[in-house]
Amino acid sequence: MAFNMILKENAGAFFVKTLQQISVTLLFCLSLSACSWMPFFGDEEQQDIEEIETTEQKVYARAQRSLRSSNHTSAIEQLELLEARFPFGQFAEQAQLELIYARYMTYDLEGARAGADRFIRLHPGHDSVDYAYYLKGLSAYRDSNNLLDSLLSQDPARRDMAPLREAYADFGVFLNRFPDSQYAPDAQQRMVHLRNVLARSELAVADFYMRRGGYIAASNRARFVLENYPDSEARDDALATLVECNWKLDLKEEANRALRVLALNHPEYENFDDAGNFVLAERIRNRDRSWANIMTLGILDKPEAPPPITIFAPAE
């Protein structure tokens, strides 16, 4: 009897202890399952595992998918990750080139130019180094065409010319080094446009000086156009400006020399009359009219203009 009672007590105690162990185990399992949905617990651990297992091929493949879908921001993230983790991998150099392009497409033009300079410095003999030179010039070219100027329809010749000069110089270096590159035709067309805009900009400054009687400064600007942009569309206007400035400065021989070049290369220029004389009256009247002359419909304060200038052939 006593033995049966002891057995029952021990059985009860064992049952209670077993129940406690089961409860603790269940609570531990529930706590683990509860943690699994918390973003700061299971996700970070899984992310760390994925990052450790990430291979160069996987990162590059992701970058390529982003580029193909025009998600250039995502492509930049993947390419920067690739460059940081696998700086000497099989895709490292190609990734650097694609990073320049992706930054250009996201309008990070300074970053694109810096990346191009870095690639050129590190890989001067690379088969695609011409592409880096081309993108460098393209980034400077795009930097000059900002949205505000487009909305205001501002004359490109009156913008800040620094980015255009950089682009012109960059394309010049590119074409000098890689005249047979597949990107050369596009660079040549852009240089033609840049040359015309830069020349017009110089003549706009010359016009500013001429309105204020600064004929020496204006003639220097015209001469700069003739020396640096001889094939531009503004060549004839530069020669005409040089003729007028020399005439106003009483440098008749120099004026006649510039006039002969103008007549020889641009015989149809608008300021030549039917007899072949160079007429400045209309040109000066449109530029140098005072308020008094405008208010009196041209009767008072007429701007001073020389008579029609005749070309003199040099003595034999």
Could you tell me the residue range of the domain that residue 132 belongs to?
Answer: 55-144+151-196
287 lies in the same domain as 163:
no
243 lies in the same domain as 275:
yes
185 lies in the same domain as 250:
no
DSSP assigned state of 156: G
To the nearest whole number, what is the mean pLDDT of the chain? 77
Q: Residue 192: is its pLDDT beyond 70?
A: yes
Q: Residue 94: is its pLDDT beyond 70?
A: yes
With CA atoms as reference, report the closest residue to 156 among 196, 107, 214, 98.
196
69 lies in the same domain as 157:
yes
pLDDT bin (cut points 50, 70, 90) of residue 3 is very low
230 lies in the same domain as 283:
yes
Q: Is residue 202, in this structure, part of any structural domain at all?
A: yes
Helix, strand, or coil (residue 272): strand
* CATH number of the domain to which 258 belongs: 1.25.40
Q: What is the pLDDT of residues 154-190, one digit of tens each?
A: 555 566 788 889 999 999 999 999 999 999 999 999 9
Q: Is residue 117, in this structure, part of any structural domain at all?
A: yes
Helix, strand, or coil (residue 278): strand
Q: What is the pLDDT of residue 53?
A: 47
pLDDT bin (cut points 50, 70, 90) of residue 116 is very high
List the single range of 11-20, 56-65, 174-183, 245-254 with lowest mean pLDDT: 11-20
If one counts the domains in the chain, the total is 2
174 lies in the same domain as 261:
no
133 lies in the same domain as 217:
no
Between 282 and 27, residue with greater pLDDT: 282
284 lies in the same domain as 179:
no
The long-range contacts involving 256-265, CB below 8 angstroms and separated by at least 24 positions, are: 256/309, 256/311, 256/312, 259/309, 259/311, 260/311, 260/313, 262/236, 263/311, 265/235, 265/236, 265/239
88 lies in the same domain as 184:
yes
Q: CA of 304: how far to CAs of 13, 121, 273, 307, in Å? A: 123, 58, 19, 10
How many other C-beta atoms are found inside a 10 Å radius of the C-beta of residue 288? 16
**CB neighbours of 179 closer than 8 A, spacing ≥ 6?**
none
Burial profile 197-223: b = 16 or more Cβ within 10 angstroms, e = fewer = bbbbbbbebbeebbeeeebeebbbbbb
163 lies in the same domain as 202:
no
Q: CA of 259: how far to CAs of 50, 119, 168, 215, in Å? A: 76, 49, 29, 17
70 lies in the same domain as 186:
yes
Q: Is residue 10, in this structure, part of any structural domain at all?
A: no
60 lies in the same domain as 178:
yes
* CATH number of the domain to which 135 belongs: 1.25.40.10
With CA atoms as reference, report the closest residue to 55 among 76, 92, 86.
86
Q: Is residue 22, in this structure, part of any structural domain at all?
A: no
